Structure 1
Amino acid sequence: MAWTKVFVAGTRAWVACVVLFLLLRFAAANVVLVGRNISKSFVDVDATFTRPIRESGEPGFLHLAEPIDACTQLNVAVANGSTSPFVLIIRGGCTFHDKVKNAQNAGFKAAIVYDNKHNRGLVTMAGRSEDINIHAVFISKASGEELKKYVNHTDVELWIIPYFENSPWAIWAISFISLLALSAMLAACFFVRRRRSRHLRRGDSQVHVFHGMSNQLVEVMPSQLFSKVLQGDSTSKTCAICLEDYRVGEKLRILPCHHRFHASCVDSWLTMWRTFCPVCKQDAQASHGIVPASETTPLHMPSASSSPPPDALRSTLPSFPVPNSTSISTSYSNQLLI
């Protein structure tokens, strides 16, 4: 499961890289509104006399100034324990320094000043930096009117994000996360390929090479030419390998267990597939003995009553005339005529 963990880590790193890319897309929209099923961004300009925004951004919840121009002491105060409260202020009536100073005295952590007229460019708020410890940004009137809709909404969070464009931190972060994601993906591919190779090698090691009987050993086994069916022999009529009935004159091979088959069928069986009898599982390489019974042993096993001994069989075999007036002896070492 190690490769799975590496793959998950690579996926997470890739997701982080995508998130960073989305943040970079908001580089020209530093004020970002995030809530359930909502995500909006607004262009802003930082004030020159306030505390700079940290690189990770500043989150908070939006309140509306009262009075809205914040030129006097604000009537709305931040409750103790409030998390990063931001205040929305309209431009005009007094200096930017006075507005931000009054917002700070009321307990707010950031002042968002929006323009009081439409279709005007953003300005850089200037003022005295003495005793100013909060953040302040300037946005357009359209942006301010839109933010008013989300004042005092605790389910909507407002973020003030610094510019990432051409920032050394941004370049370093992108490079590091991209390298991390690429390394994790390459490691995952390496572990997957290594696991697959081990699995294939393990499978190859479990393959056993079959060594069948030699053609010379099979050829010396006794054979006969079929003439009639013998009673009590399961292989005396049909070949158990090809399931074809014997025909008069076909060459049959006799295994040590006395079961008979087509010579061509059983020769291929013994040399290419298995070295035991297809019917009783007795080893064809052994001239005597019967393999102990097992779960794979068939119900039918050869018996003394079902298969006569070779001497008795040889004594009952009649002779067959051979073309050109040639006769064959009724007993010989390898060819038995019945």
Structure 2
Amino acid sequence: MATNTTYQTKPALFGPSLSNSDKVGYLLQPLEDPTGCQLVTTPFANWIALVKRGSCSVATKVRNMQQSGAVAVAIGDLELKSSWFTMYALGDTFDIEIPSIFLARNEYKSLLYLSELTDAPLMILLQRDQRMDWPLLDAMIIVFVSPSVMLVIIYIFRQLKQQMHRDGLTETTLASLVLWQFTTQEEYGAEACCAICLEDYFQGEMLRLLPCHHGYHAKCVDAWLLTKKGFRRKAFCNDNMFDKQGRSDWWENGTSNRRKEVFIVLVFQVREKSLYAS
């Protein structure tokens, strides 16, 4: 009878591992002592001992089966609530030269049944599952790579933020914006005040007229324009300062512009606080 079935096992923490080469042999449970707690007669060459858990330590089982000629040991669990168990040994285990694996209840009973099904020995292949390396790789990525990526993102963000703060308008560009002399307050009514400092305009004051058709005290708005890159597109009207040229007519537009001017006041107050805070 030929069969090809894969069983999940768990290697011991002592003895050689299967990382470099696979191990091929014939699986057999020793009749003299199924627990492997004492030496048994070698049945044939290249045999792999299938023993039950209990009665002695796992290191003792492996040592006894090694001295009995086994090339590997598979230790099975018969408990009903069997779970995966990591086999370890206390003390020095440098004398153990064969690999050993742990089998849960279902895997152990299945292999025991197959080994006793016919008189011919059951050939098995002990092979390391390469997928077991992935959890370790994932852990290394989380521990080492993720913090590095976060540091790079933080660095880029800080650089962009610093660039936004230092890349304001140039002196040449600022000089190209219109300076307009205020005439009389009576002509413009309640709207004749600076939305930045909230002070009324007085006759003869120089106002900076932006391409978005809004005017402010030159002394109030020039410092902001020269230092803040974000002001190139004004938040309250979303108007690009380089899209339009010409004199403003916003002073003469009535109620709709009054509502807009109230919104401008709020935005500028928030921006002024951020300017002094920075």
Normalised to the residue count of structure 2, the TM-score between the two structures is 0.43
Larger of the two Rg values belongs to structure: 1
Higher helix proportion (structure 1 or 2):
2
Greater relative CO (CA pairs within 8 A, separation 6+): 1
Normalised to the residue count of structure 1, the TM-score between the two structures is 0.36
